[in-house]
Structure 1
Amino acid sequence: MNTGQLLRGATAFIAVLSLVSSTAKAKVDVSPKDYQVAESLQKVFESVAEKVKPAVVNISTVSEVRVSHPPIPPEFRDFFHEFGIPFPQFPNKFKTRALGSGFIVKVKDGWAYILTNNHVVANAKKIRVKLSDGSVYKAKVVGKDPKTDVALIKIKVGNKKVPVVELGDSNNIKVGEFVIAVGNPYGLNWTVTHGIVSAKGRHGLGLNPIEDFIQTDAAINPGNSGGPLCDIHGKVIGINSAIVREAQGLGFAVPINIAKKVMNDLLKYGKVIRGWLGVYIEDVSPDLAQKFNVKGGVLVTKVMPGSPAEKGGLKSGDIIVKYNGEDVKNVADLQLKVINTPPGRRVPVTIIRDGKTMVLNVKIGQMPGTENLATVDLMSKFGLSVQKLTPELRKRLGIPNWVKNGVIVTSVKPGSPAEDAGLREGDIIVEAGITPRSLKPVRKVDDLIKVIKQSGSSGVLLKVVRGEGVFYVVLKPEE
């Protein structure tokens, strides 16, 4: 290095030192008003945390996972036998434990009702709920809805006063609003994080069959699932549901308005009721819009035979641009509008057909296979499945003519309460009650479910027909 290079290096170093020195001496003027603004925002977050945290719960579950082992070649078994070594037995099931969050939304008749995610409790054999005061309770599933990833569970609190969250209106939130998430990430109980609403109406993520997510950058991690996403007033606007593991700062919450409908349906009907139109649809791309000479809407690609859409006059090739007077933005938007319409209601559907605008009056039906998830859950606890006794089943199974009504047992799980009670596949349950005097005819599955719900831990008395014989059993829930 020559003298010139040394001088240039020294000059540059002195310049950097001068810049650092001037920067260090720079003064930022902060007025008392600036501090007041920051303190006011801080107090808002503190207020929300104090208001919401007591109603947030920690949910721990125990699930049973079954595994299938490949067949063992005979030569391996012979090897162990030859040397007198017992052949190892591989377990075909094992237990897993998981953590999640939830929040108390209602207290009635000594029961506290808790909203959470379906995936938190979906396959759980045991569910325990820990409240903010440290008390722990066994929880029961009221109902589950995999389509929206929402579940409702309950705990028996008796006369104990427990805090309840206030539910907001997710339809009124704006992108950019502050939000606060509360939950138990990685088992770190009652963690509070904050961020903003990054986007609304996110769909097509492949997380749920029905998607209308709120996207947020509030920190959400495993264990947050089922916890509340709140606005700055402490009202719950969503249920924290999912994260994108490959990215930072991307969290998704189920809008509380969707969860409220699921909750209300489960409490009122024991299942989720959804409207049904009966069409296959796709978004109108710019190319399709040009070909069909439209500006938006969704394209009907197929109409299901016998569906409300067919009865209402919809045809393949129609462009649905309005539903019940509201513009149709895309496929997800129309799906949400339809499923939230009570079955039986007539709705004006505006379409464009061959360049002409038409309004059809369509009577919305009920979605086929609408999940009677509370029923499925109740029946699974006893280890049996049943279905209504139809004329076809009566003829195929040779059911005696004197058996007029009932539900037929279609399967019994080994080791279940149903098997312990002596029930078998093919049995006909004709009457059910809590006591002999309260026995009533079972004409459909809901009749049986109604009695099971009322029976509690005492079990339900069943009158059963098997072949030409009749007997009684007491079906008790698993301890």
Structure 2
Amino acid sequence: SIVSIHFGSKKDSDFVGTGVVIDGKGHIVTIKRFLSDYNIWVETDKGEKLDAELLGVDSETGVAVIKVKESLKPVKFCNPKDLAPGDLLFIVGNSFGLKNGISISVFSGRRDDDDFLQLGNSVLPGNSGAGVFNSNGKLAGIVSFTLGTSIFYGAPEIKSLLKKEFRIRVSPKLEVSRGMDGPGVVLPQNRMMELANEIIKYGKIERGWLGVFIKEESGEIIVSDLVDDGPAEKYGIKKGDIIIKYNKKDVQDIQSFIKTVKETKPGRKVQIA
């Protein structure tokens, strides 16, 4: 299910964004933008106001996990890799204070540099952390950020689909609302769950670090400098070295190399050539 997230007094609070219930243990994932860890509470689609605790935040992606004591119905997941450009996606969030408001976009494709999913249009304000579902009502990911006009659809031709998969009645009148500039970017649910599970277990996300400064020249990744006493310096990497392989795999470009290093668990030994 989808919840709205607030902080402060339940009588006079600040609305922050949208959260997605990921299991039956009260864990909720959202994107922290202006989320305070002071007096967080959530409101369900039934109007229940529940106290919540902030478990942790990933500073890089903005993924945050909060927890309520009550058991809420979790969403069902789809495989984001099954999405094809042009597929309809349904963004379920709490924009403009509308509980479980639905806007529709299309899947544009995957971003090459970070594997995020890109929408064909922007998202409405208040939909940070909103669930992005496929046409079967299964979660593909959550709204992460906006790079636009968003449209809130109530067209008759999709009324039956929304009623069947999301159990939401939609006015037959088409309503149009402007969104934030730039297309919406979605964190895939599989990556979201990896981060969420680590936050639930450890309270934070730990990423790999080599202690090198690198640059790309003529397609080669070159070490331009080293951090004193960093892992790279300790194991003999020198300024001017060309990095060809990381853990026996060819290094393609700077972005993919940085991504691979960050995804390596701290303390793990790797081979660099």
TM-score by length of 1: 0.45
State the shift of 1:297 in Å: 5.1
Alignment pair present for 1:183 and 2:116: no
Size of the aligned set, in residue pairs, is 241
Amino acid at match of 2:65: L
Question: Secondary structure in 1 aligned to 2:55?
Answer: strand
Q: Which residue of 2 aligns with 1:259?
A: 192
Cα root mean square deviation, aligned? 2.9
Alignment of 1:120-269 (within 5 A): 120-121=34-35, 123-157=36-70, 162-170=72-80, 173-201=83-111, 213-244=116-147, 248=181, 250-269=183-202
SS at match of 2:103: strand
CA contact (8 A) 1:194 1:218 kept: no
More off after superposition, 123-132 vs 143-152: 123-132
> What is the letter of the counterpart of residue 226 of structure 1?
G
Give aligned-pair identity as a percent: 33
Instruction: Give the Cα separation in 1 of the matches to 2:130 and 2:202.
Output: 25
**Residue 61 (str. 1) matches residue 15 (str. 2):** no
Would the aligned equivalents of 1:185 and 1:220 in 2 still touch at CA under 8 Å? no
Aligned equivalent of 1:430: none
* Partner SS, residue 275 of structure 1: coil
Give, in angstroms, the shift of residue 176 of structure 1.
Answer: 4.4
Aligned-pair CA distance for 1:256: 2.8
What is the CA–CA distance in structure 2 between the aligned matches of 1:299 and 1:232, rounded to whole Å? 46
Q: Larger C-alpha radius of gyration, 1 or 2?
A: 1
- Between structures 1 and 2, the one with greater helix share: 1
Classify 1:138/1:234 alpha carbon distance in 2 versus 1 (closer, same or farther; 3 Å): same
Aligned with residue 24 of structure 2, among 101, 104, 107: 107
- Tell me how far 1:155 sits from its aligned partner: 0.9
Residue 190 of structure 1: how far off its partner (Å): 0.9
1:333 deviates by 2.0
CA distance, structure 1, for counterparts of residue 214 and residue 65 of structure 2: 31
CA distance in 2 between counterparts of 1:177 and 1:281 reads: 38
Q: Name the aligned partner's letter for residue 182 of structure 1.
A: V
8 Å Cα contact 1:62/1:98 also seen in 2: no
Q: Which has the higher contact order (CA 8 A, sep 6+)?
A: 2
* Cα distance in 2 for residues equivalent to 1:193 and 1:324: 43
Equivalent-residue separation in structure 1 for 2:246 and 2:82 (angstroms)? 20
Residue 182 of structure 1 deviates from its aligned partner by 1.3
The aligned residue for residue 387 of structure 1 is none
Q: Which structure 2 residues correspond to residues 76-475 of structure 1 after superposition, within 5 A? A: 97-108=14-25, 112-121=26-35, 123-157=36-70, 162-170=72-80, 173-201=83-111, 213-244=116-147, 248=181, 250-282=183-215, 284=216, 288-289=217-218, 296=219, 298-349=221-272, 359=273
Contact 2:37 2:54 in 1 (8 A): no
How far has the Cα of 1:113 moved from its partner? 0.5
Aligned residues of 1:144 and 1:151 also touching (Cα < 8 A): yes
Which letter maps to 2:246?
Answer: Y
Secondary structure at 1:302 match in 2: strand
Distance 1:103 1:301 in 2: 42
Contact 1:186 1:223 in 2 (8 A): yes
> Per-residue CA shift, 1:268-318, capped at 9, x if unaligned?
222222222221123x3xxx31xxxxxx35332222232222234333233
Unaligned runs of 5+ in 2: 150-179
Cα deviation for residue 163 of structure 1 reads 1.5
Whichever residue aligns with residue 254 of structure 1, its letter is L
The structural deviation recorded for 1:57 is 0.9
From the superposition, tell whether residues 231 and 155 of structure 1 become closer, same or farther in structure 2 (CA, over 3 Å): same
Gaps of 5+ in 1: 1-54, 64-94, 204-210, 290-295, 350-358, 360-479
